[in-house]
Structure 1
Amino acid sequence: MSVCQLDAIFIRQGHELNQHSPPHESPWPTHLSWSFESTIAALRLMLAGQIVGAAIILRQQLGRWTLLLARAGRVVQRRGEPIESFIARAWTQRAMDMLGLHTFDVALDDIFDDLDDHPRTTGAIDTDHEHVHIDGRSLCPARVYHTLCELIDAQHTDQPVACQVVRDLDTETSPTDTNGPSQILLDTLALCMIQMRLATATTYVFTTDPDTMRGVPLVSPLPERRPIQHPSQIPLPLSKPVATRLTPALVPLVGREVATFGALADLWPLYTDYHTALADRSTARRWTPQQLAELTFAAHRFSRLLVTADACAQDHKIADKRLKLHQHLTPASPHVLTAEFAALCALWNQSRPQIAAAATQISSTLLAGYWLWIEEDDRAMGILRCTLHQAARLRTWHVHPDTAQALQSRSGTAPLRWITVAGWSKFRSLDRALFEFAHANRESRLDAAGILNDHRNDPDSLISQRVARQTALDTVAVLAAAETLRVVAAQQSPAIADAMREALDQRGLDVPTNPTRRQPNKRTPPPRMAQDVTATPDVPVFE
């Protein structure tokens, strides 16, 4: 309901929700607009069971609000200070009281920062600090951030792991399921929503005080491009698709042409109803809180589909074969297939917890990232960056287990260190490009395209930026697939790995063949356990 209340202010000022995307073209402060959309994106992934993807989005949001609070409270991270201590010092009541004024600085500069590439969190907080009180509970933002990092990095490898892709095949709830991950995500949402409400309150005060508003640039410069079609002009399909297990607001666009996607027809009336409901207070009172909550989610999801439709129209107009449009119109997309193969790799290697944990995170993040990628949501790039890091971990644990153990036991190990030890120094530019993409600043796509420039296009051109997005996705998928198949070939069966590689090749993803079939080191491999299957008739490799 908090998002609904904030939307009411936005809509009553004469705006529509589709003006939030992209955020630097929104009538509201850039950071605030981005946070609205991130909240909905995280909720969508949570409701669809993609916990790790949601955690990555929320960790980024918590980090960005932390930096904004630090700016408001004039807190600077000390040299060598643990990230948890910096977060603890930044989250003060004094900083939150001043937050609204500093939100506009981000709108002016259009620059987002991240708490990124810091050493692995340890949970140690070396300073006295305040907690945030919510509904009678006391939350420590630094502790919440640390727990998110543990969830994303799969640090508790002593516990059984299983991928969402695999769990979807089961009709019964797994006995290992707990409310832990969901609760930490809800706590993070609560912390971020407090800051959104404070920033919105300041915006509302300024917009109702013309004299004050003249000194605050609430409206960003005119955008360089507009949506090709107004929401009411988007062609809607005449017939609805067969009912799916997921609601229209949750179902991914995998294997679907946007112009014929039934969710547009389902969500368009809800989008208009939502704007009507929030147009004035008397109309809003006719709806129950539950109805408004459902309308809120559906309306925001529809606005995201409008952005997707606009991008698809641009890609078809460009008609460049490097965009590989055909790959994204089949249910058996090679990126989805790679995620499923990683899930099977994790399932088959439960006696090797580090291998299983990395494969699990690859499966979860690649699938969630791809869902957002095809919806033109650059939050996907932050998730795919985690896929890259986990692929490097998988490779290191498989090829150099002793080195991996040393890195894991060292608290000062940053994600980039895993990439270096894996022998992937040449992919540091890819890591940086994903980092730039994920920021969604005004020049993010241009900067990322410049990093991945193939010298055939000017980074300033639209085609260069579109190809850069595709290149980033494909490269991450190939690296993840190659390491997954390497483990399957060594621990399960070379024949299964070859079959997986052939399936990916048939769908347009060329995964290089591992030239050797030897074990990664000279030591005798650990004995196979019952759960480390080579192949089982009741677990098909692919259909």
Structure 2
Amino acid sequence: MKDYERVARSSPDRLAEALIARHNVRMTNLMRLPEAYRVMAIEAMGPIAILDPSHHLLGMTLNRVPVEYTGEFPRDLAWGVDSQIAAVRLLLSGQIVGAATIARQQLERWTIVLARAAGLSREEGESIANYFARSWTAFDSFSPESRVADAQIDLQDLDAGIEEYEPGADEPGSDHQHIVLSDGTEICPGAVYGYLSEIMHARECHDVTSWESEWLLDPRKMPTESALPIKAIADAISLSLIQIGMLTAVGLHRAGKHTEAYRLANYKSWPHRFSERDLASESREWWAASTSSDHGVERAAVPTSGVSPTLVSLMPLTPTEGLRKRNVAYLEARYWTYIGIRTGYRPAGRLYRDDEMVTLVFDAHRYSSAQFARSALDTEAALLGDSFDLHTLDSRGSVYIVVSELAAVASIWTAGAVSAALKLISSSLRSAYWLWLEDDDRAMACLRCTLEQAARVVATVEKPRKAERLENSPAPTSRWLEAAGWKRLNALNQAIGEYAHAQKKVDPLASRLLLSALQMDVDPDKDAIMTARGNALDLVTEFAARSVLTALRTVSSTVADTALELLEAGMLDLTQKHKEEVLNHSMKIRNAASAPSGHEASQSVTG
């Protein structure tokens, strides 16, 4: 603390430099994570190399918008695959909370689609864990043929969603079967879903969020407990990919491609995890290939250590980072290598190992994300004309980085619930920013985590007894907002909460309209809806900053005062007057949205 106080006394700019230096160290450490961590993070992607060609047969190529989930059913299935890539990317970046948010959303969506295909519905009073356990137990009893030919589901209507949170990550109380993968891994879907929910609400995984926020992913300080959240996220990815595969098989069957459909439906034969390496066999294959007549292939040595995605495919898609020309060119080359391998090309002169193939799949999908992000920037430049400035995006990102790092620093100097909440603020805000850059709606789901923990910090500091009662009886986000004196933010909470669950029937435009209406001093007729999620990111960042400053003032007024000066010199208005204006505007929008019904409600919110 004394070091930060010395820096703070120097100037706000020096404090900003210290905070951004923390961010840079964390980014550097991404390439130093232990191999065991990286292997656990990527191996669940194995089946994607099977699903991509199957989706191609249904007319869905990799040249697509990864975050789009409306349209014909192959679009839904491809979005499901891209979502697993998104979760793994955050996992490889140490952002456990963001990865858990995406993984839980996907597990929820595809489990409920599975239940509908099996003709099952949730019984009155049935817990989510028991419902999931019952659905997967029924699914596991079906034969591959029945999964394909007898699936009772409208592929054009893949709706799913649960809007509640049940605390706990224990095994379901009812009799149920675990799903067994090809390598013998056993998964309890209900327990996995509960554990991911606990991570999002800062009730589990404290050591790992500390590692990310406080210790900057220093490989020497990786906690042994990190295996638990990685496994839970990987298991959720495996389960989601199984159901995506089953629906793909149904689509293939209905398209008359019966052989491909039945082969895909036998999910127990999939490569769910990496097989054990045999270096001697790999070397023999390489030498045999090197003596062939195919001299146009560059021969690479057999790697003795694991291969995993590089920083190029992980970094945020800003013009100065992931979207730099040479970085996009690298991903494009990887994309074409992947396409070539699917047609029989062997760029290494041998078959790729599991880790090499999965890494190639990951990079190829990340190229789609980079293409879309670059196209979105071009569109924005065309709309804004001379007022478009790439540097604005970088300076805006600096504010999110500074707030997230301030939260991380404050978590070191505090304890208990306040420290745990600050760690989650740091992690979830970072993920929200990265996902927002890719136009991914899950950025809003991460912001829901940020907002809840920001309210938890303020409530704990200012109303400790009330906060203690809420801690003893897990409460929804709205209760924390009320305890923090932010009840009027319920419209914002409602809007971003919709994105935490994957529901196709709930029009995503409705939540966007509500977010659009929450913007102040914006003309709704001039593309206000296009800036709605960015405004939500700014709003939550503002209240996260207020909570961080509240925590800092309990331990160091010197750092808190300089931090306030730093943030207000940027893009945040942290005055009490502005706070009241935001709260009152939010309450006005909430009242307008809830007063009428039907079509009138939509008109009220947008007007």
Q: TM-score range by the shorter chain?
A: 0.7 to 0.9
Match of residue 63, structure 2, among 10, 14, 18: 18
Contact 1:482 1:512 in 2 (8 A): no
> Unaligned stretches of 5+ in structure 1?
214-244, 516-543
Deviating more after overlay: 323-332 vs 365-374: 323-332
**Equivalent of residue 407 in structure 2, options 329, 338, 342:** 342
327-336 or 379-388, which deviates more: 327-336
SS of corresponding position for 1:302: helix
TM-score by length of 2: 0.70
Q: Label 1:419 to 1:119 Cα distance change in 2 as closer, same or farther (>3 A).
A: farther
Aligned to 1:127, the other structure's residue is in SS state coil
Cα distance change, pair 11–125 in 1 and its aligned pair in 2 (3 A): closer
- The structural deviation recorded for 1:303 is 0.1
Q: Among residues 46, 60, 66, which one is paired with 2:91 in the alignment?
A: 46
Distance of aligned partners of 1:8 and 1:262 in 2 relative to their CA distance in 1, 3 Å threshold:
same
1:483 counterpart residue number: 547
CA distance in 2, matches of 1:417, 1:322: 42
Pair 1:4–1:423, CA change in 2 (3 A): same
Give the Cα separation in 1 of the matches to 2:497 and 2:388: 21
**Quick one: which of 319, 323, 328 aligns to 2:384?**
319
- Asked if 1:419 is matched to 2:466, the reply is no
Asked if the contact 2:451/2:540 (under 8 Å) is kept, the reply is yes
- The worse-fitting range, judged by mean Cα deviation, of 497-506 and 285-294 is 285-294
Counterpart selection for 2:185 from 137, 146, 149: 137
Amino acid at match of 2:410: C
Amino acid at match of 2:443: A
* Preserved contact between residue 114 and residue 139 of structure 2 (Cα < 8 Å): no
Find the aligned partners of 1:107 and 1:253 in 2 and give their Cα distance: 33
Give the secondary structure class of the aligned counterpart of 1:452.
helix
Q: Which residue in the other structure is 1:465 paired with?
A: 529
Alpha-carbon spacing, 1:376–1:509, altered in 2? closer, same or farther (3 Å): same
Structure 2 counterpart of 1:398: 461
**Cα deviation digits, residues 302-339 of structure 1 (max 9, x gap):** 10111111221222223299999644224961011111
Q: Paired residue for 2:491, among 429, 432, 442?
A: 429
1:382 Cα deviation from its structure 2 partner: 1.3
In structure 1, the residue matched to 2:336 is: 272
Equivalent residue for 2:244, pick from 196, 211, 214: 196
**Residue from 117, 120, 132 that aligns with 2:164:** 117
* Structure (1/2) with the larger helix percentage: 2
- 2-side partners of 1:43 and 1:357: how far apart? 23
The residue number in structure 2 matching 1:92 is 137
Matches of 2:469 and 2:224, distance apart in 1: 29
1:30–1:106 CA contact under 8 A, matched in 2: no
Shift of 1:486: 0.8
2:198 aligned with 1:150, yes or no? yes
Give, in whole Å, the separation in 1 of the partners of 2:326 and 2:503.
Answer: 28
Counterpart check, 1:83 vs 2:128: yes
Q: Structure 1's 100 and 24: CA in aligned 2 closer, same or farther, altered over 3 A?
A: farther
When residues 106 and 465 of structure 1 are mapped into structure 2, their CA distance, relative to the original with a 3 A threshold, is: farther
Which one of the candidate residues 238, 244, 253 is aligned to 1:205?
253
**1:249 paired residue number:** 313
Q: TM-score scaled to structure 1, two decimals?
A: 0.78
Quote the residue 1:8 is aligned against: 53
1:77-107, Cα deviation, whole Å (9 max, x unpaired):
3333322222222222447846668999575
Give the superposition deviation at 1:159: 6.3
Cα deviation digits, residues 270-310 of structure 1 (max 9, x gap): 11221222146999995413432221010100101111112
Distance in 2 between residues matched to 1:311 and 1:181, nearest whole Å:
33
Superposition deviation, residue 422 in structure 1: 2.4
Specify the SS of the correspondent of 2:103.
helix
Q: SS of the residue aligned with 2:156?
A: helix
Q: 1:371 aligns with which of 434, 457, 465?
A: 434
RMSD (Å) for aligned C-alpha atoms: 3.5
Query: In the alignment, which residue of structure 2 is the partner of 1:32?
Result: 77
How big is the shift at 1:398?
A: 1.7
| Contact preservation (8 Å) 2:522, 2:528 | yes
Question: How many angstroms apart in 2 are the aligned matches of 1:305 and 1:176?
Answer: 34
Report the counterpart of residue 370 of structure 2 in structure 1: 305
Residue 102 of structure 2 corresponds to which residue in structure 1?
Answer: 57
How many angstroms apart in 2 are the aligned matches of 1:495 and 1:285? Answer: 61
Question: Which of the residues 521, 545, 555 maps onto 1:492?
Answer: 555
Deviation at 1:160, TM superposition (A): 9.0
Residue aligning to 1:353: 416
Q: In the alignment, what sits opposite 2:602?
A: none
Instruction: Give the conservation status (yes or no) of the 8 Å contact 1:50–1:164.
Output: yes
Q: Do residues 388 (structure 1) and 416 (structure 2) align?
A: no
Which 10-residue stretch deviates more, 96-105 or 56-65? 96-105
How has the CA–CA distance of structure 1 residues 102 and 147 changed in structure 2, closer, same or farther, with 3 Å as cutoff? farther
- Does the Cα contact within 8 Å between 1:277 and 1:284 map onto a contact in 2? no
Runs of 5+ unmatched residues, structure 2: 1-45, 262-308, 579-607
Q: Which of residues 166, 175, 179 is equivalent to 2:214?
A: 166
Provide the C-alpha distance between the structure 2 equivalents of 1:272 and 1:512, rounded to a whole number of angstroms: 52
Which shows bigger deviation, 478-487 or 436-445? 436-445
How far apart, CA to CA, are the structure 1 residues paired with 2:561 and 2:88? Answer: 37
How far did 1:209 drift?
Answer: 4.4
CA distance in 1, matches of 2:391, 2:374: 16
Q: Contact 2:211/2:223 (CA < 8 Å) preserved in 1? A: no
337-346 vs 265-274, which deviates more? 265-274
